[in-house]
Amino acid sequence: MGKKKPRRPRRSFTPEFKAGIVGLCRRGERSVWQVTKDFEPADTAVRDWVRQAEVDAGERNGLTSGEREELAALRRENRRLREDGDVLKRATAFFAKETR
């Protein structure tokens, strides 16, 4: 049986670094493979960055970065509001039981 390749630790990259890498790939100066060899981000990450840049530029269908951020913020707010509602329901039940 083959040995599993050890996972890389998760790294974060600055928006400026990502923009530079995407620019190299989109201008045709380097391929995704060359970028991953030279700068060492994962090839799937570079492909995702390039794909998102194409969506943001209107060249591809999908959610733009701004829409993704808005969706994430709305989901966080929705989760918080549901939690607030649950707390209020429990408090109402507690006080209803206490007043009897």
Q: What is the pLDDT of residue 56?
A: 95
In a domain, 7, yes or no: no
Provide the domain count of the chain. 2
Residue 40 lies in a domain: yes
Query: What is the model's pTM?
Result: 0.69
Please give the Cα distance from 35 to 33 (Å, whole number): 5
Domain that residue 83 falls in: 65-100
Is position 31 within any domain?
yes
Q: Is residue 4 part of a domain?
A: no
pLDDT digits (tens, 9 = 90+) for 23-42: 999 999 999 999 999 988 89
- Tell me, yes or no, whether 100 lies in a domain: yes
| Same domain? 89 vs 73 | yes
